[in-house]
Structure 1
Amino acid sequence: MNTGGSTDLPKLSHLVLSVCVTICGAARADPISLDDFVQADPAQARIGQLLFYDPVLSGNRNISCATCHHHEHAGGDGLSLGIGEGGTGLGPDRTPGAGESRIAKRIPRNAPALWNLGHKSVDVLFHDGRLEVSDQFGNGFDTPAEEWFPEGLDNILAAQALLPLTSEFEMAGNVGENQVIGAVRDRIDLGWPILAKRVRTIPEYGEMFVAAFDHIDHPGEVTIVEIGNAIGAFVASEWISIDSPYDAWLAEGTPLRADADRGRELFFGKARCATCHSGPLFTDQEFHALSLPAFGPGRTRKFDQVARDVGRMGATDLLEDAYRFRTPPLRNVALTAPYGHNGAFPTLAGMIRHHADPRASRAAWQPDQAHLPEVPWLAASDFAIRQDWLEMRRQRARLDIRPVALTESEIADLVAFLEALTGDTVADRPLGVPDSVPSGLPVD
């Protein structure tokens, strides 16, 4: 070994540390590169950008995908539980509407951010995993639409784009308000042809689809499949973020800030965060019960008598999956508060404290920690589930994580490490927010 110079010492110490981490058995994320992501056609992504921001895809033409997944809010909406169809405004300032068009229900779960979902490893989406890559129904995916889900979608992001369009409280609208929700109520797939016709009969969209898709010779050939593929191409390419300080440490040995480096050691060591938050996206894509504080309308099934959310069990009907939710990826997590499947915690420190001692955290939690826009006609039901002692006992009993003793200083170091997962260019997106959309409808 040449010890006469010091120019390679940072890289050498980084290599030694990497070997030590491996030998000691502690998990750590792998390096990540653009080659790890699905390829997206730029022309299709441009169509997807416009459709993502165009309310034309909602039943009442009054809400878009971007309303709950906006660039200004790092791909989320900044709320614990969103204000969907019928509301007005954007993000934390969104209001629930008024009159007959006002919202009838809050969105049951927190709007997940979109960062790096185009990574090739992603094969399950939504908090309960109700969308998975699968050959079960012969169309490439296991979804609530089962055998009626269309064939020909490029990837799981293209598939994901179709499901909010069928949701009454997200984008489809209330029964009786429009043709889309009426069709969806008959069968989940019957609303998609209506939306596809809306899009392809707008001349600008029609021309763009013909130019971007080799198999489309005439606008009349555009279906919901091309629409989903366009939106999937946009999400896959728009939200890539792999240039954080941690990435620089991982690839080049660039030192992290001292507190972030201590947090890194805790994350992969004593705090056991990497047990579930593993791999290049910091998720095992599995489902775990964390016993988060309950509130909101719940994601109820037809036979549920209470406003509860049973998590993964709602998708699988397996009792063993009760109250389990998908491990969220953590890149850019510092930008996407509040946290948890229902946005129960407004800060990363609060969420870490809950992981460290779930039962104590749940007992101490107060409703004012939830970021819920005021909706007077829903106020009585927002926290009603917390009075159901039997349901609360069931939720408290279902816990997949073990407590770990962390000091406040260690929690602060973990927060610093999570902040080091924020990309340097998060504000510089390839396409961003369009000035206008072909439908002529307002852009949020």
Structure 2
Amino acid sequence: MQRFARMLLCLLASIWVWVSGGAARAGDPPAADAVFAAHSLEEITLGRLLFYDPVLSGNRTVSCATCHHPRFGTGDGVSLGIGDGGIGLGPARRADPDNPPEQRIARNAPPLFNLGAAEFTVFFHDGRLQADPARPSGIRTPLGADMEAGFASALAAQAMFPVLSGDEMAGHYSENGVAQAVRQGLLTANGGAWALLSGRVAGIAEYRAMFDEVIGDRPIVFADIANVIAAFVAFEWRADDSPFDRFLRDGTPLPPAAARGMRLFYGRAGCDACHAGQFQTDHGFHAIAMPQIGPGKAARFENHHRDVGRMRVTGDPADAYRFRTPSLRNLRWTAPYGHAGAYRTLESVLRHHMDPVAGLRGYDPGQALMPGAPMPGDLAVLRDPAELARIIAANDLAPQALSATDIADLLAFLAALEDSRGQGGRLGVPETVPSGLPVAQ
């Protein structure tokens, strides 16, 4: 009877689960109510090809899949990746000796699971792109008036930015027309970066014919490319059929350790204070003293390796070192963890949350997984006492004591957030793409 009552209350999304043998109470697990937009097969199929096609990079060597590959949990399997100027895939990626990168990509490649859900309206670790109904375009970005119109969603709009990054997809100045346009601030006009890439795609007969089925015979603009890539991402990596989702929907019991971990997560451990909702994110920004490795976020004229996170967007010192709360879905496949990928194991990043200040002070750089040879700045912040002090001062996550059994139970619950259908994607990696360029397998 008690089990039936818990199941019924769960279905009504109003349960309070008493922790067995103690006075602690668990908060409400969320309702399984995520809303996903529908997309046509034509959009999804076209977006899949463009996602894996290097034609969208300045030098035609990097695709979206280079840093977001199903083999690595829709990331790249490393702390900080190498985009343009790299050879290989995942942890085996290295600098091209004939065209080395200027630096590593400054932040860890975030996973793509469930980004098609309507609740995901804030993108990038610092939230610099987000839906904003007050804007004529419905989207707020650093580009302001230079932002192209016509995006179906914020998910589509975020696809506009990796192609503008020299470290990610555009390439170095003077290497190609796209890189030159980016460095000169030319984006949408004739000769602009997005226009050049749209022209490449339109010039491939197979792509032009496929776009005819989606948008008709009008000229292709980059928003059209971004919209179909977003449609593919939303379809391919929807992952909302985990054991936890089934528990929320019909009361299917979790394994005992996962059930104990859920009570901890929503109770004494307080994880849901930030990791809320069906996909375990409040979409907010928090400072938890995560170790900073790599080049940091600095303009080319700046000489530092700091990454102040949300403050780079808002300019508010109160936002210093705050980063967006990640979803916790399919975590075991998406290592390393943190905005700079500082931790390569799930247990190590969980232990950091138990005492962030101690975690930063005692951080072992061997936890990072950096592809290729060491680069200048990889450990610069870790060797800067003043910067470490600033990161520590910004921390707002209080330490707490968890036993080894507690940690094991929390890890079991996190495993219950996995949807195995999403691991490799529904359609998988195409063998070829219309440009004829190599596909990262």
The interval holding the TM-score normalised by the smaller chain is over 0.9
Structure-2 residue corresponding to 1:199 = 201
Residues 203 and 20 (structure 1), Cα distance of their counterparts in 2 relative to 1, 3 Å cut: closer
SS of aligned partner of 2:29: coil
Task: Give the letter aligned to residue 152 of structure 2.
Answer: D
**Aligned residue type for 2:341:** G
- Amino acid in structure 2 at the alignment position of 1:199: V
Q: 2:431 aligns with which of 416, 435, 441?
A: 435
Q: Distance in 2 between matches of 1:22 and 1:157?
A: 36
Instruction: Please say which of residues 351-360 and 128-137 is displaced more in the overlay.
Output: 128-137
2:420 counterpart SS class: coil
CA offset digits 1:284-327 (Å, max 9, x no partner): 00000010112110011456431110100111111111100000
Q: What is aligned with 2:214?
A: 212
Pick aligned residue for 2:8 from 6, 15, 22: 15
Aligned residue type for 1:182: Q
Structure 1 position 391, deviation (Å): 1.2
Deviations 1:31-80 (A, max 9, x none): 145xx112222201111100000000000000000000011112111101
Residue 161 of structure 1, CA deviation: 0.8
* Runs of 4+ more than 6 Å apart: none
Greater shift in the superposed pair: 182-191 or 286-295: 182-191
* Correspondence 1:182 to 2:205: no
Matched to 1:197, the amino acid is G
Structure 1 counterpart of 2:125, one-letter code? H
Q: Which SS does the other structure have where 1:81 is aligned?
A: coil
Given the alignment, which residue of 348, 351, 354 partners 2:352?
Answer: 354
Given the alignment of the two structures, is residue 74 of structure 1 paired with residue 73 of structure 2, yes or no? yes
Contact 1:127 1:325 in 2 (8 A): yes
Residues 374-420 of structure 1: per-residue CA shift (max 9 Å, x gap): 324x1x42112222221111111111211111111111110110010
Give the superposition deviation at 1:188: 5.4
Distance in 2 between the 1:390 and 1:11 partners? 56
**Does the 8 Å CA contact 2:112/2:237 hold for their aligned counterparts?**
yes
Whole-angstrom distance in 1 between the partners of 2:420 and 2:175: 44
Structure 1's 69 and 188: CA in aligned 2 closer, same or farther, altered over 3 A?
farther
Residue from 102, 106, 109 that aligns with 2:107: 109
Counterpart residue type for residue 235 of structure 2 = S
Indicate yes or no: 2:303 matched with 1:305.
yes
Distance 1:388 1:194 in 2: 42
Question: If the length of structure 2 is used for normalisation, what is the TM-score?
Answer: 0.93
Number of the residue aligned with 1:157: 155
State the 1:19 CA deviation: 4.5
Map Cα deviations across residues 160-197 of structure 1 (whole Å, 9 max, x no partner).
Answer: 11110000100000011000011111115220000000
Question: 2:125 is matched with which residue: 119, 124, 127?
Answer: 127
Query: Which structure 2 residues correspond to residues 5-404 of structure 1 after superposition, within 5 A?
Result: 10-15=3-8, 19-21=14-16, 26-32=27-33, 36-99=35-98, 101-135=99-133, 137-187=135-185, 189=187, 190-213=192-215, 216-218=216-218, 221-301=219-299, 304-376=302-374, 378=375, 380-404=376-400
> Deviation per CA, 1:113-157, whole angstroms, max 9, x where unpaired?
000001111111000001011245522211122111111110011
Code of the aligned partner of 1:366: D
SS in 1 for 2:87: coil
Gaps of 5+ in 1: 1-7
RMSD of aligned Cα (Å):
1.8
395, 417, 420: which one pairs with 2:416?
A: 420
**2: CA distance, partners of 1:131 / 1:174:** 24
What amino acid is aligned across from residue 339 of structure 1 in structure 2?
Answer: Y
What amino acid does structure 2 have at the position aligned with 1:21?
A: W
Give the deviation of 1:15 after TM superposition: 2.6
Q: What is the alpha-carbon distance in structure 2 between the residues aligned to residue 125 and residue 272 of structure 1?
A: 25
User: How far is the alpha carbon of 1:12 from its aligned partner?
Assistant: 3.3
CA contact (8 A) 1:145 1:188 kept: no
Distance 1:29 1:39 in 2: 23
2:21 equivalent in structure 1: none
Residues 354-383 of structure 1: per-residue CA shift (max 9 Å, x gap): 11111111111111110001324x1x4211
| Counterparts in 2 of 1:16 and 1:116: CA distance versus 1, 3 Å | closer
1:26, distance to aligned residue in structure 2 (A): 1.4
The one-letter amino acid paired with 1:126 is F
Q: 1:181 & 1:129 partners in 2: Cα distance?
A: 24
Output the amino acid matched with 2:409: D
State the alpha-carbon separation in 2 of the partners of residues 436 and 308 from structure 1: 40
d(CA) in 2 for partners of 1:278, 1:246: 14
Question: Structure 1 residues 433 and 126 mapped into 2: Cα distance closer, same or farther (>3 Å)?
Answer: same
Letter in 2 for 1:429: G
